[in-house]
Structure 1
Amino acid sequence: MNDEILRRIHHTNQSAHAQVLEYFEQLKVSDNGWELCAQVLLSGQYLEDEQIRFFCYQVIENFVAKKYSSHQDSATKQKIRNFLVNIMQMVAGGASAEKGYVKNKLAQLVSLVFVVDYPTVWPTFYTDMMQFAKLGGQEATDLYLRILKAIDVEVVDREVLHTVEEQTRNTNIKDYMREQCIVQLVDSWYDIMSTYEGTHPQLVCSCLEVVGLYVAWIDINLIANDRMVPILIRYINTPLLRESACEAVTEILHKGMEPEAKVKLIESFTSVLESAGVMYPSEDEEGDFVLKLSKLVNCMGENLVLAWDKSVKAARVP
């Protein structure tokens, strides 16, 4: 790596800054550019320079996105996987105090490798990630949740356009997850929320976001049960968690289901929310929370109407 050029990244001169950007573009097309960037990230040379680290991640991401799936050299792929494990350990250990957007880039990189290697090449991916979060503490848990959200973007998010081949791949990934690890994943979410609810509310909010994302395609009974529902309702009454909890419950109620099952689900949530005193906020309640709560109530109404319409149409079928 050309350290002299890299040091110009913070230069106020636009020409000097442009030279740095051009250098990273050259690394993207270089055969060993990704490896040079991986070495820099692992060396700790630029631990305090988030911009250089971000651009290094971008170079590696470019290689993985464009060449990883078709690369014939298994040794190179193993190097990538080893790099990911090592850099995650660095971040979790606090050696690199990554900013949120830099950690998101790392999570995206992990997700790109995941969709290629899981489950055939890296069948223990989720076991490894859950163990990483469990043993690594707060920073590891934060990165674990970011990775789960990045995987959702690659595999589930309907706003992302996919080829037919990618759609088939994503379906196979979800099917395998349902069979092999989704129960353990849900257990990990429960453990995270229980562990950090009193000390790191931002992690609980991030975990609630994951619940809201994944509930769309996993078994509803893994979430709508006597273990998870009480914790969600409790969070709706917890100032630092209630907005995220409202959003999670809204996503649960949006889940595609048969009309009868959907009505029962809404009725059960309505009952526990009313019992918890949530449905009728006071006049001086915070506006942001009232907005989230109103969206939740609106979701209930919309889904009841949709369930009714489906039931009526089904009854008309001879």
Structure 2
Amino acid sequence: MQGDISSSVLTDPTQQARVYEYLERLKQDPNGWRNCVQGIVDGSALEAHNQFLFLQVIESYLRSQYQSTSTEGEQQMMRALMSNWLERVQSGHVSAEPVYLKNKMALIFSLVYVVDFPSRWPGFFKEVFLNN
């Protein structure tokens, strides 16, 4: 996925502005959140700071559109993201992740839960916590 964010963005105001613009473009792009989910699930967004930025785009989608416009396929994409995260937890990869990334992912789980349980995903707890 295009837009790999280097760690130099932390110290360079010009790069910070570029990242902010890129992030806003992703949020406005109807496929931006999908591309971010895909980047996380397929592993192309390996760096924690890239994943965090992608999760910000996903969070924006969840807060603004998920409840009112998501299709069953889009709901499945969110479930795939969550399943991918849980698989990484079980394999031990998440334990090395920064706390800010774990917290952002916990927020993603919460936002999906609030919208989907119980009407769209009655088996949320069983599928998320018992099957993984």
TM bucket, shorter chain: 0.7 to 0.9
Partner-residue secondary structure (3-state), 2:26: helix
Stretches of structure 2 lacking an aligned partner (at least 5 in a row):
none
Q: Kindly indicate whether residue 47 of structure 2 is the aligned counterpart of residue 42 of structure 1.
A: no
What displacement does 1:72 show? Answer: 5.0
Per-residue deviation, 1:126: 1.4
Q: Tell me if 1:102 matches 2:101.
A: yes
Residue identity over aligned pairs, in percent, reads 35
The residue correspondences of 1:17-166 to structure 2 (distance < 5 A) are 17-47=16-46, 49-96=47-94, 97-132=96-131
Contact 1:9 1:17 in 2 (8 A): no
Preserved CA contact (<8 Å) 2:36 2:58? yes
Q: In structure 2, do the counterparts of structure 1 residues 70 and 53 end up closer, same or farther at CA, with 3 Å as the change threshold? A: same
Tell me the amino acid that sits aligned with residue 64 of structure 1. Answer: L
Larger radius of gyration: 1
Q: Which has the higher contact order (CA 8 A, sep 6+)?
A: 2
Is the 2:48–2:97 contact (alpha carbons within 8 Å) kept by the matching residues of 1? yes
- Alpha-carbon distance between aligned partners in 2 of 1:94 and 1:17, rounded to the nearest angstrom: 31
Which structure 1 segments of 5+ residues have no match?
Answer: 136-318
Q: Are 2:2 and 1:2 equivalent residues in the alignment?
A: yes
TM-score normalised per structure 1: 0.38
Kindly tell me the number of residue pairs found equivalent between the two proteins.
130
Three-state SS of the structure 2 residue aligned to 1:69 is helix
Contact 1:91 1:98 in 2 (8 A): no
CA contact (8 A) 1:27 1:59 kept: yes
Q: Secondary structure at the match of 1:2?
A: coil
TM-score (norm 2): 0.85
Instruction: Give the deviation of 1:9 after TM superposition.
Output: 4.7
Deviation track 1:231-266 (CA, whole Å, cap 9, x = no partner) reads: xxxxxxxxxxxxxxxxxxxxxxxxxxxxxxxxxxxx
- Shift in Å at residue 65 of structure 1? 0.8
Secondary structure of 2:112's counterpart equals: helix
Shift, 1:82, TM fit? 2.2
